[in-house]
Chains A and B, each alone.
Chain A
Amino acid sequence: MTAIVENKPAYDGKALDLTGRSGARAFKNTLATVLIVLAFVIAIIPLVWILWTVISKGYHLLLNAEWWSQSQRGITVRREGGGAYHAIMGTLIMALITAAIAVPIAILGAVYLVEYGKGTKVARAVSFMIDILTGVPSIVAALFIYAVWITVFGFNRVGFAVSLSLVLLMLPVVLRSTEEMLKLVPDELREASYALGVPKWKTILKVVVPTAFGGIITGVMLGLARVMGETAPLLILVGYSKNINLNPFEGFMGALPTMINQDRTELALQPAADRVWAAALTLILLVLALNLLARLVARFSTIKSK
């Protein structure tokens, strides 16, 4: 079978210039690449530096079982030994109480803003307040709780008061990130659920929130990480104790940031300096461990995608 081919030349003999980049464009490309790589390196230097310093100076204390199981009871800055158990537990207890209060409020608040309040005056007011709360320094949050908890109600300085002030710091972080995650859930999924005759509240509970779950967990972790490193509320609302105290409603309580602060005053002494670095490393590891845990939870709560 022969096709009818029009009698046109296959090409007209004039070669197009396909050699590509002009000199100026190649230069701009190289320049931009160099700048971007440079920016990345500059950003990464302090991170690597901090990690290296903390790990190299702090790791050896962490290798002792004593570090994880004992307190600083009876140990002066000049003496070696003792552990960070009291501070680890204090930090964890206060952070978990904070999360237990802040996370439900934050998630419900975000659900209100995205699913119910959209465009209403109340929602705009809440949104504005959250923005302001995001900018509140930790010491202001601490003093506010001091004024309410101790001056007005006359309670003592205890771990729970710290948690209350940390709630003020954690709430806006978690609420904002949850809000963003809920906004990312496509409306088509909500409509699919409504079209099955599922009420709105159940659609939110069983379709919208589960779809955004991974992102919500990430937000909670960011909030927790921020809160666990805060020092001002600890200094103001609970005294540092070298003893193990697991009761957030009574007595002073150890915490990793205040433990660092305690030994920091005698950095010239080797035992104290070692403990500062070790406590810092412990705090970093604690945040990391919670992060990994949360990621595992998020992974196992969604179905395997394969």
Chain B
Amino acid sequence: MAKRIEVSGLNVYYGDFKAVEDVSMTIEPRSVTAFIGPSGCGKSTYLRTLNRMHEVIPGARVEGKVLLDQQDLYATGVDPVAVRRVVGMVFQRPNPFPTMSIFDNVASGLKLNGVKDRKKLTQVVEESLQGANLWNEVKDRLDKPGAGLSGGQQQRLCIARAIAVEPEVILMDEPCSALDPISTLAIEDLIEKLKDRFTVVIVTHNMQQAARVSDQTAFFNLAATGKPGRLIEMGPTKQIFSNPTEKATEDYITGRFG
């Protein structure tokens, strides 16, 4: 598992509005890549194009190429549903399914795709919860609703749900922005662990977080309001935070932005 993502010349439009312009980058497998940048610079929009989740929004479309180990996700005949099975996603706000128990939440990806074998499900649920550092906290109440957990636990439940379908890549859209520092720490520890198995891409507004968890950092910015967001600079996290090439990156990470 874990695949390399190569993006070239990607533009994203919402109707006539160009939201992201000309992004090219390579995301390495078994590593954590962080996207940072001011609000509205298109990093979340861009993240969603990596598993075609932007197509849920009417009018959103993409130009350019996204290769997952040489396979173009936007080639004709590619089914977005199949893409999302290999490129999973964790969202900003924890969103466990309210009608399902903790067990069913984790098993949902498999169950909804037709896996019925109870033994297999039980095994995957335990492994995924272990993998999401949540097993010890919930193993005695797997039949209770997922929505009854704390915010941080819910987010780890969502991560367990995402890894249960064994994707190649996990996209995280500001996974800690709704959580307290302790829960954030738990998620960050988890991300560190996840990169042994998956390609992890994380959007974050928290620069310390990017510095702590990521191997590569990409900085996005937009020239002015109403202009499309662009990739300004990408490189090893250490270098981006200590010795960035671009003035804009330096201004942003040192807080002299704007």
B147 at the interface (CB under 8 A from A): yes
| Chain B, Cβ-Cβ closest to A185 | B98
Q: If A303-B143, A305-B147, A306-B144 touch, does A196 touch B109 (CB 8 Å cutoff)? A: yes
Answer whether residue A183 sits at the interface, using C-beta atoms and an 8 A cutoff: no
Choose one: B85, B93, B145, B148; the contact of A197 (CB below 8 Å). Answer: B85
A192, A196, A202, A207 — which one has the most chain B CB atoms within 10 A of its CB? A196
Q: Is B51 an interface residue (CB 8 A)?
A: yes
Q: Residue A210 at the B interface, CB < 8 A?
A: yes
Contact B53 A194 (CB under 8 A): yes
Check A211/B99 contact, CB under 8 A, given A191-B91, A197-B165, A198-B113. Answer: yes
B133 touches A (CB below 8 Å): no
A189 within 8 A of B: yes
Kindly state the interface size class of chain A when it binds its partner: 20 to 34
Given A190, A191, A198, A210, which contacts B99 in the complex, CB threshold below 8 Å?
A210
Number of A-B contacts (CB under 8 A): 89
Q: Note all chain B residues with C-beta closer than 8 A to A199.
A: 81
Which among B82, B96, B108 has the greatest number of chain A C-beta atoms within 10 A? B108
Residue A243 interfacial (CB < 8 Å): no
Residue of B nearest to A187 (CB): B56
On chain B, the residues within 8 Å of A304 by CB distance are 144-145
Render B126-155 as a binary contact track against A, CB cut-off 8 A, 1 for contact.
Answer: 000000000000000001110110000000
Q: How far is the CB of B82 from the nearest CB of chain A, in Å?
A: 7
Q: In A280-305, which residues have CB < 8 Å from any B CB?
A: 302-305
Report the minimal beta-carbon distance from A199 to chain B, rounded to whole angstroms.
Answer: 5
A203–chain B nearest beta-carbon distance, Å? 8
Chain A positions 93 through 126: 1 when the CB is less than 8 Å from some CB of chain B, otherwise 0? 0000000000000000000000000110000000
B58: chain A residues at CB < 8 Å are 118-119
The reply to whether A211 and B93 contact each other, CB–CB distance below 8 Å, is no
Which B residues are in CB contact (< 8 Å) with A192? 91, 95-97, 158, 161
Question: Whole-angstrom distance from the CB of A277 to the nearest CB of chain B?
Answer: 43
Closest to A213 in B: B99
> Are A196 and B112 closer than 8 Å at their CB atoms?
yes
Cα-based distance from A194 to B162 in the complex (angstroms): 11
Question: B253 contacts the other chain (Cβ, under 8 Å)?
Answer: no
Chain B residues within 8 Å of A302, by CB: 99
Closest CB in chain B relative to A122 CB, distance in Å: 15
Tell me how many residues of B have a C-beta within 8 Å of chain A.
35
Give min CB distance, B200 to chain A, whole Å.
Answer: 15
Determine the chain B residues whose CB is within 8 A of the CB of A65 once the complex forms.
none
Chain B residue at minimal CB-CB distance from A200? B81
Q: Is B42 engaged at the interface, CB distance under 8 Å to the other chain?
A: no
| B56-A191 in contact (CB<8A) | yes
Residue A127 interfacial (CB < 8 Å): no
Q: Does B88 contact A (CB under 8 A)?
A: yes
**Which A residues touch B88, using CB under 8 A?**
195-197
B112→A193 contact, CB < 8 A: yes
B84 within 8 A of A: yes
Q: Which of B134-190 contact A (CB under 8 A)?
A: 143-145, 147-148, 158, 161-162, 165
Knowing A195-B89, A198-B109, A303-B145, say if A207 contacts B97 (CB, 8 Å).
yes
* A9 sits at the interface (CB 8 A): no
| B112 engages A211 (CB within 8 Å) | no
Report the minimal beta-carbon distance from B56 to chain A, rounded to whole angstroms: 6
Q: Which residues of B contact A119 (CB under 8 A)?
A: 58
Known: A191-B53, A303-B143. A197 touches B84 (CB 8 A): yes
Distance of A303 from chain B, by nearest CB (Å): 5
**A302 to B97 alpha-carbon distance, docked (Å):** 12
Q: Decide: A189 near B97, CB < 8 A? Known: A195-B88, A305-B147.
A: yes
Residue B25 lies at the interface, judged by CB distance under 8 Å to chain A? no
Task: Tell me whether B101 is interfacial, beta carbon within 8 Å.
Answer: yes
**In the docked arrangement, what's the CA distance between A68 and B99, Å?**
39
Inter-chain contact A194/B109, CB cutoff 8 Å: no
A188-B95 contact in complex given A194-B84, A198-B113, C-beta closer than 8 Å:
yes
A79 an interface residue at 8 Å Cβ cutoff?
A: no
Closest to B93 in A: A188
B100 at interface by CB-CB < 8 Å: yes
Chain A min CB distance to B126 (Å): 18
Known: A196-B165, A202-B112, A206-B112. A191 touches B95 (CB 8 A): yes
With contact pairs A195-B162, A196-B165 given, residues A190 and B98 touching in the complex (Cβ less than 8 Å) = no
Query: Chain B nearest CB: distance from A298 CB in Å?
Result: 11
Q: Which residues of A contact B85 (CB under 8 A)?
A: 196-197
Closest 5 CB pairs between A and B?
A197-B85, A196-B109, A195-B89, A188-B95, A197-B84
Query: What are some 14 contacts across the A-B interface (CB < 8 A)?
Result: A189-B98, A191-B56, A191-B95, A192-B161, A193-B112, A194-B81, A195-B84, A196-B161, A197-B82, A197-B85, A197-B165, A213-B99, A303-B143, A306-B148
